[in-house]
């Protein structure tokens, strides 16, 4: 590992004293440690109890058991939306007495922009590392073992199947469109709370969830469901909290973008600030993998003082490796290492040794 391309910081959580630093202000590609600032921004803006919402809106009227007009499946950016959710929506419509649709199903993904990837991604990352991004995605856009390249249309057609399964006759396939201002709410389904979604995202280092969450931040805070707007929200939240922002550049939510830059200083400062807030601390610590126990750290640090006492976010690409988190309740730490290419095995060995030393204190 090249020392000049490795940044690290360890901070005493009680006193705030820096007990170790190396290239702490050097901007480096963070890999999946990018998900940490996204997690922090989501918790401090949306809150741990936040739910994504998917709605069915109606344009037209109900006459007896027939809905004459269109049903709009309106996506709310829920990365967890599944066929079970669609079934719930369909059953709500059936409970309202609808047995036949004399019109069409419209799939509305307009909450987010139509970009399926993010700036700085390698072409191979599309589909291989993340499902296509859309405000309306069902089953992570996987149908019959394949990913669809038109997630909203696939979701709309899945909803048609759910309607038929609930005993509602539909004669046409779905189309992609936008609900008009006169559409009335007919049914809704909510995601699990944000705290649960963050736990899955950080435990599994899930790229798709991170990117969907970034766009949701843009949509909810700036009324623009774009990756750039979400990145602006993350930068704003970090700066307002007092995180040192020199050299920091947020482009995507997952860390796949080659344009992302974080410093060990910014990561460690953010972790210490989060630790100081009881609500944020509880959710963040619960979202991070535990050394030698679960998530992306299940097979690392399975012995020694770090086992069960270090919680941290991992990060690995061909050019970056990172590990940032907490050692017991004593230290916040951040390690980011870059190389072309990077020897990820040796990077992890260095990170794990660092964490073991901190956990032993």
Q: Are residues 175 and 206 in the same domain?
A: no
The reported pTM is 0.96
* Predicted local distance difference test score (pLDDT) of residue 255: 98
Q: Are residues 281 and 215 in the same domain?
A: yes
Burial of 63 (0-12, 13-18, 19+ CB in 10 A): exposed
* Predicted local distance difference test score (pLDDT) of residue 130: 97
Number of domains in the chain: 2
Q: Rounded CA gap, 174 and 79, in Å? A: 21
Structure tokens at 228: 């750039």
Q: Are residues 146 and 266 in the same domain?
A: no
* Predicted local distance difference test score (pLDDT) of residue 145: 84
Distances (CA, A) of 81 to 97, 155, 245: 24, 10, 35
Q: Residue 269's domain spans which residues?
A: 3-49+194-359
- Taking alpha carbons only, the member of 86, 72, 101 closest to residue 169 is 101
**Domain CATH for 177:** 3.50.80.20
**Domain CATH for 347:** 3.40.710.10
Q: Are residues 93 and 238 in the same domain?
A: no
Residue ranges of the chain with per-residue pLDDT less than 50: none
Tell which of 130, 156, 190 closes a domain.
190
- Tell me the pLDDT tens digit for each residue of 233-277: 999 999 999 999 999 999 999 999 999 999 999 999 999 999 999
- Tell me the pLDDT tens digit for each residue of 169-224: 999 999 999 999 899 999 999 999 999 999 999 999 999 999 999 999 999 999 99
* Predicted local distance difference test score (pLDDT) of residue 251: 98
Tell which of 158, 190, 222 closes a domain.
190
């Amino acid at each position: 590992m090249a020392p000049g391309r490795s940044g690290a910081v360890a901070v005493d959580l009680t006193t705030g004293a820096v007990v170790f630093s190396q290239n702490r202000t050097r901007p480096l590609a963070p890999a999946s440690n990018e998900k940490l600032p996204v997690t922090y921004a989501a918790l401090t803006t949306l809150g741990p109890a936040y739910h994504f919402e998917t709605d069915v809106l109606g344009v037209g009227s109900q006459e007896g058991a027939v809905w004459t007009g269109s049903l709009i499946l309106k996506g709310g950016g829920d990365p967890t939306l599944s066929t079970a959710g669609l079934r719930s929506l369909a059953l709500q419509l059936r409970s309202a007495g609808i047995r036949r649709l004399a019109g069409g199903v419209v799939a509305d993904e307009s909450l987010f922009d139509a970009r399926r990837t993010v700036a700085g991604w390698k072409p191979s990352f599309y589909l291989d590392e993340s499902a296509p991004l859309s405000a309306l995605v069902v089953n992570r856009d996987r149908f019959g073992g394949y990913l669809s390249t038109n997630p909203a249309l696939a979701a709309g057609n899945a909803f048609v199947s759910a309607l038929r399964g609930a005993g509602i006759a539909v004669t046409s396939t779905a189309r992609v469109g936008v609900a008009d201002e006169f559409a009335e709410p007919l049914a809704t389904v909510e995601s699990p709370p944000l705290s649960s979604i963050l736990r899955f995202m950080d435990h599994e280092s899930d790229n798709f969830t991170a990117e969907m969450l970034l766009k949701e931040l843009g949509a909810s805070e700036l009324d623009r469901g774009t990756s750039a707007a979400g990145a602006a929200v993350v930068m704003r939240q970090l700066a307002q909290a007092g995180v040192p922002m020199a050299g920091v550049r947020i482009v995507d939510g997952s860390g796949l973008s080659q344009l992302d830059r974080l410093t060990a200083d910014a990561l460690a400062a953010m972790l210490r600030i989060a630790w100081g807030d009881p609500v944020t601390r509880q959710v963040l610590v619960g979202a991070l993998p535990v050394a030698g126990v679960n998530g992306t750290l299940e097979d690392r640090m399975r012995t020694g003082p770090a086992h069960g006492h270090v919680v941290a976010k991992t990060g690995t690409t061909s050019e970056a490796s990172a590990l940032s988190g907490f050692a017991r309740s004593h230290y916040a730490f951040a390690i980011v290492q870059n190389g072309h290419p990077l020897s990820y095995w040796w990077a992890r060995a260095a990170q794990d040794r660092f964490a073991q030393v901190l956990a032993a204190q």
